[in-house]
Chain A
Amino acid sequence: MAVTAPNQPTRPGLGAQIWDLMTTSDHKKVGMIYLVTSFVMFGVAGILAVLIRVQLHGPEQKFLVGETYNQVLTLHGATMLFYFIIPAGLNGFGNFLVPLMLGERDVALPRVNSFAAWLFVFSAVVIYTSLFFGGAPDVGWTFYYPLSKVQGPGTDFFMVGVLLLGLSSLLGSANFAATVYNLRARGMGLWKMPIFVWSVFATSMLSLFALAGITAASLTVLLSRKLDLTLFNAGIGGDPVLYQQFFWFYSHPAVYIMLLPYLGIAAEVASTFARKPVFGYRFMVFALVGIAVVGFLVWAHHMFTVGESLLFQLVFVFFTVLVAIPTGVKIFNLLGTLWGGQLEFKTPLLFVMGFMFNFLLGGITGVMLAVVPFDYQVQDSYFVVAHFHNVLMAGSGFLAFAGLYYWWPKITGRMYPEFWGKIHFWLFLVGYLVTFMPQYVLGFLGMPRRYYTYPDGLYLWNQLNFTSTIGAFILALGGIAWVIAVLESFRQNVKAPDNPWGGYTLEWATTSPPPSYNFAVNFPRVFKSERPLYDWEKEGLKPTPVSVADIHLPAPTVWPFMTAVGLLISGVGLALPWTVGNSLNGWLVVGILTFIYSLFRWALRPEYDQPVEHHTVTGKSNAWVGMAWFIVSEIALFGILIAGYLYLRLAGHATPPVERPALWLALLNTFFLVSSSFTVHYAHHDLRTNKFSPFRLGLLISIILGGIFFLFQIYEFANFLQHVNYQQQLWANAFLMIVGLHGAHVVIGGTGLSLAYAQGLAGKINNHEQGTLEGASMYWHLVDAVWLFIVCIFYIW
């Protein structure tokens, strides 16, 4: 699409706007999808929190009892974490701002990005759909096995929703990693990127490595519910604690996924409103990366009471207290940034100050929780509740609002009313303290979390709970002030200038809101620091205008959206009982067909209407870099499950049955799969040298070899299941789960190759534009490598 008039004179109708969102791949609109969803979800989950506090305002209340309370509790936690605090900073602000800050037109993989955004929205729809099919999940956002195995059907929807969300999150993170890696304004080195971009980059890495944990956790729970396929069943030697290892392997790093982007926001806001550069830029980046690395080594501090050995616990105590150091550095450097500045206490800076105070409390109580003997006493108590709300709600949450007010003029093109912003801040701060300070005391007085009721007459419980509920209502008033601020901003309609706060980074170098092409200029290629606008002004450098007519953007297409719709429908089908009578349920049939059809339509729709030259920093294509990052997480997924299997095997719990799957069959299959890797390789080679018929033939042979592999595997499974009752045999569970997951990857990889084959038949790919092939062939090699490993640990050993 060639860009036409920059500002359209008439507003398009609602239908046209929705169609635009469905077909867009503009990172700003994608960012809006995330931002609107996550802030709306914050409202929803906030109301749920108020309901919780209403139930707990006094002893023995009957407002939300038992299962109902647990449903509200689960939805509150899951919504706040998965649909507000993780996506708002990383995907919302990240998508809107990272390309702008990098001086680029879009992210590396714009269509994958819009697919991920819709999948994110639909995963929430799947979880909330459970309300119409037998009730919301009631197992806590942590869905511990075996509780999550025995509770009602809401948990199925929750598991499927989390799986879809995980996929969305992976694609989103791979896209960010590729964007930062590959797309930066010419001259902008990694060490000249704004801190916020660094924080998004570090977070994406973290999430690519960690997400496999929650995929493994939700997949294994779903399989245990649907097929009784599980590694955790203590009745046959499985280990319920293994589930928690999987879960926290993601969910602790996720705490930093919930924090790092916001620390980036804090640094940007502090620097702008102090009129100074950030203090200790390099230290701040090191601290970000340090938190990301150490954040991986602390997951078991959620599990001090599960009975692990003393040494195991000590290791995790060590890393837990260690992570306090880079976190402290972030706070000190923020203070350093503000020191000596000319501070303008507008709403964003107020939220940053509020964050610092609250996060300090959260940090201190966090170190207290690392003191294991004390942790034993307050494990799962209100002390913990107060602690994590302190870091998440009053920490990251405050910074989410700092970011919202800071970039509101840029995003909406309107100023917000400062008065209502400040009212919002003060109500949130006071409400927060009144709600959660009593909860710390309740922790010392022994109140466990996730209780829907408590008896009368426990010392001070009534008074403290009542105070906490008053605080929740003050927070709710703060929420109302926020809504008023938003409505007033639209009503007053004060047009925002390009750079209302005198910001230093490139997003302020375009109009508010930015046009679809972001910038119609070429920036100077000199980046002295992370503040290009400041430096260029000092040195008198100016961007040179380029003609808008020469800018080409990706063409709009509805197929990424429809592909996500296919997954939405299949997701509901996956959560419901899989079969009706003898056939698959209708949701699955319609969903899978929609998915496959849309995916092929998407693959056959070229990204641009006319050939476009792509500049990338690394010289590798965006698809290549994106897939490389994606594969990291696939390896992690197999790594986690295989580690679980190895543990069970070495501990002597999982021993192979006498009738094992035959080695000769596995070796034959290895031959097919390895050969297909070669044929894919040569097909790719042929494409690069523009030999189209051998390319198509090679690809077709690879797909057929993959198909043969898959059919043999089905035969093998059927054969195996005739001899072994897997519900009584732990090794069989591990075998079916991991080898089956590999089989699923063969199907996914085969689909990828088929997309490339279809593109080849339609003549849509060539040496220059390699379509799906680059990614698909890399993925196919991965599938191959994993198989070799599986042969060793399941067939030979």
Chain B
Amino acid sequence: MLQRSVGLIITLILGMALAATGGQAGGHSLDILDSKASAYNQEVGHLLRWVLGFAAVVFVVVTGAMTYITLKFRRTGKETGEPAQFHGNDRLEVMWTIIPTIIVFIIFGLTANSMFKLDKPSPGAMTVDVKGWRYFWDYNYPEYGIRNSGELIVPVGKPLILNVTSGDVIHSYRITSMVGTQDAIPGLINHIRVTPEKVGDYYGQCAELCGPSHANMRFRVKVVPQEVFDKFIAEAKAYQAPIPTDPTLVKGEILFKANCAACHAIKGVSQGAPNYPDLTFFGSRTTVGSGMWENKSPYLENWIKNSPGVKPGSLMPAFPQLSDSDVKTIAAYLLSHKLEGLDFNFPNSQKY
């Protein structure tokens, strides 16, 4: 530890420490004010322009006064006698109470107006139940009877109501570039209302300290064209895990049932448990480990072998008893569960 920190300090001082190490899935351009992503962001951008305008005035006045004072009233040593001993100026003081009062009342009015506007129910909205668990997000589409863990798939241009809650400690659900945060609190349901307006792959994060892997509780929201979404729904509803014929997959299913099925559900294979991720059509996910790595075999194998090792505090135990080839087999088996003809990977230019 000591050696490492000394090394770090040296590289820091030399300014050469920008190299990354792990290969986690990044590549998103996050911008909380992305006005094309939603009307919500546009509204906030509009509000902020007002606030920043007032802020600029206040900033210029105060820093201007500070600069003037510093230059003008600096002691030179040539002064004779003491400076004028005035104790205040009522008119001035009333003025610099009233002007800020007017400003904050305007800001309050604008804020209230926006809040009412954004709170309006959206007709024809689709509901998704979002539940946070240490450390992943679970989604249910009550209107379609579909469960999906880790990645949220929604159509572009359709109003959404996300019912956010938690199964254990408090989390907070943030689709960073699209809409504001709401906390996921056990026993309560909070609502996020938004209409995604731009197709793309949105980066999401947990925004309330929830334990050692708070930083690793990431997710992706895939905003897809309506026809893709319809296809997704149709296939997901009808999905049944295929009966494996390939000998690797046959072995994979046996291993899965022996090691994984108590916690993880795969429709047609296992019931799993509600507080652990559903792995039905897992092969169609783009990330593994709750948005941490690309959903590819080497990352998936690391994850299966030693989940708490790559993600501190992960509730999934390590499986040292499984051989490397067993792990590979399980990974292949999981990746074989796919929705046909659907690909939720986006190019970097569409990652927000």
CB distance from A686 to the nearest CB of B (A): 53
Instruction: Please tell me which one of the listed residues A54, A380, A443, A444 contacts residue B181 in the complex, with CB atoms under 8 A apart.
Output: A380
Contact at B212–A67, with CB atoms within 8 Å? yes
Complex CA distance for A457 and B26, rounded to whole angstroms: 5
**Across the interface, which residues of A come within 8 angstroms of B114, CB to CB?**
371-373
Interface size, B (range) = 35 or more
Contact at A374–B48, with CB atoms within 8 Å? yes
4 tightest A-B contacts by CB?
A: A376-B180, A234-B187, A66-B312, A457-B26
Contact at B21–A62, with CB atoms within 8 Å? yes
Instruction: Please tell me which one of the listed residues B70, B83, B112, B312 contacts residue A317 in the complex, with CB atoms under 8 A apart.
Output: B112
Contact at B180–A456, with CB atoms within 8 Å? no
Say whether A511 faces chain B, with CB atoms less than 8 Å apart. no
Instruction: Please tell me which one of the listed residues B4, B179, B210, B215 contacts residue A454 in the complex, with CB atoms under 8 A apart.
Output: B215
**Across the interface, which residues of A come within 8 angstroms of B179, CB to CB?**
376-377
**Across the interface, which residues of B come within 8 angstroms of A307, CB to CB?**
182-183, 185, 188-191
Complex CA distance for A380 and B24, rounded to whole angstroms: 23
**Across the interface, which residues of A come within 8 angstroms of B32, CB to CB?**
377-378, 443-446
Say whether B186 faces chain A, with CB atoms less than 8 Å apart. yes
Instruction: Please tell me which one of the listed residues A139, A313, A339 contacts residue B69 in the complex, with CB atoms under 8 A apart.
Output: A339
Tell whether A305 pairs with B172 under 8 Å between CB atoms, given A377-B32, A446-B177. yes
Chain A residues at the B interface, C-beta cutoff of 8 Å: 54, 57-63, 65-67, 69-70, 138-140, 142, 144, 146-147, 150-151, 234-235, 237-241, 274-283, 305-307, 310, 313-314, 317-318, 321-322, 324-325, 328-329, 331-333, 335-336, 338-345, 353, 356-357, 360-361, 364, 367-368, 370-381, 443-448, 450-459, 462-463, 466, 469-470, 473, 529
Tell whether A341 pairs with B207 under 8 Å between CB atoms, given A57-B12, A335-B66, A379-B172. no
Query: In B185-244, which residues have CB < 8 Å from any A CB?
Result: 185-191, 203, 205-216
Contact at B188–A457, with CB atoms within 8 Å? no
Instruction: Please tell me which one of the listed residues B8, B63, B100, B206 contacts residue A325 in the complex, with CB atoms under 8 A apart.
Output: B100
Contact at B212–A138, with CB atoms within 8 Å? yes
Instruction: Please tell me which one of the listed residues A63, A146, A376 contacts residue B4 in the complex, with CB atoms under 8 A apart.
Output: A63
Say whether B107 faces chain A, with CB atoms less than 8 Å apart. yes
Query: In B68-112, which residues have CB < 8 Å from any A CB?
Result: 69-70, 73-75, 79, 82-89, 92-93, 96-97, 100-101, 104-105, 107-108, 110-112
CB distance from A712 to the nearest CB of B (A): 36
Complex CA distance for A513 and B278, rounded to whole angstroms: 70
**What would 12 more interface pairs be, CB under 8 Å, given A275-B83, A338-B73?**
A59-B22, A65-B312, A138-B212, A276-B86, A280-B93, A341-B83, A343-B69, A364-B59, A370-B111, A450-B209, A453-B215, A459-B30
**Across the interface, which residues of A come within 8 angstroms of B215, CB to CB?**
448, 450-454
**Across the interface, which residues of B come within 8 angstroms of A462, CB to CB?**
18, 20
**Across the interface, which residues of B come within 8 angstroms of A529, CB to CB?**
87
**Across the interface, which residues of A come within 8 angstroms of B206, CB to CB?**
448
Tell whether A63 pairs with B187 under 8 Å between CB atoms, given A357-B66, A364-B58. no
Query: In B291-322, which residues have CB < 8 Å from any A CB?
Result: 292, 312-313
Closest residue of chain B to A454, judged by CB? B215
Contact at B24–A353, with CB atoms within 8 Å? no
Q: Which of the candidate stretches B115-123, B138-146, B329-337 sits at the interface with the other chain?
A: B115-123
**Across the interface, which residues of B come within 8 angstroms of A339, CB to CB?**
65, 69, 73
- The 26 sampled A-B contact pairs (Cβ below 8 Å) are A58-B19, A60-B24, A67-B312, A70-B209, A146-B169, A234-B187, A274-B83, A279-B87, A283-B88, A283-B97, A305-B181, A310-B119, A322-B104, A335-B62, A335-B65, A336-B92, A339-B73, A371-B107, A372-B114, A377-B181, A445-B32, A453-B216, A456-B22, A457-B28, A459-B30, A473-B12
Contact at B79–A470, with CB atoms within 8 Å? no
Closest residue of chain B to A375, judged by CB? B180
Closest residue of chain A to B216, judged by CB? A453
* A-B CB contacts (within 8 Å), total count: 325
Contact at A458–B93, with CB atoms within 8 Å? no
Instruction: Please tell me which one of the listed residues B13, B51, B87, B118 contacts residue A367 in the complex, with CB atoms under 8 A apart.
Output: B51
Complex CA distance for A450 and B88, rounded to whole angstroms: 45
Contact at B169–A306, with CB atoms within 8 Å? no
**Across the interface, which residues of B come within 8 angstroms of A333, CB to CB?**
88, 93
Q: Which of the candidate stretches B39-47, B245-253, B262-270 sits at the interface with the other chain?
A: B39-47
Closest residue of chain B to A339, judged by CB? B69
CB distance from A747 to the nearest CB of B (A): 34
**Across the interface, which residues of A come within 8 angstroms of B74, CB to CB?**
343, 345
CB distance from A730 to the nearest CB of B (A): 11
**Across the interface, which residues of A come within 8 angstroms of B83, CB to CB?**
274-276, 340-342
Tell whether A67 pairs with B75 under 8 Å between CB atoms, given A234-B186, A380-B208, A469-B12. no
Contact at B212–A274, with CB atoms within 8 Å? no
**Across the interface, which residues of A come within 8 angstroms of B182, CB to CB?**
305, 307, 376
Complex CA distance for A492 and B346, rounded to whole angstroms: 67
Contact at A368–B48, with CB atoms within 8 Å? yes
Tell whether A367 pairs with B104 under 8 Å between CB atoms, given A317-B111, A373-B114, A377-B32. yes
Say whether B325 faces chain A, with CB atoms less than 8 Å apart. no
**Across the interface, which residues of A come within 8 angstroms of B271, CB to CB?**
none
Contact at B47–A371, with CB atoms within 8 Å? yes
**Across the interface, which residues of A come within 8 angstroms of B280, CB to CB?**
none
CB distance from B314 to the nearest CB of A (A): 10
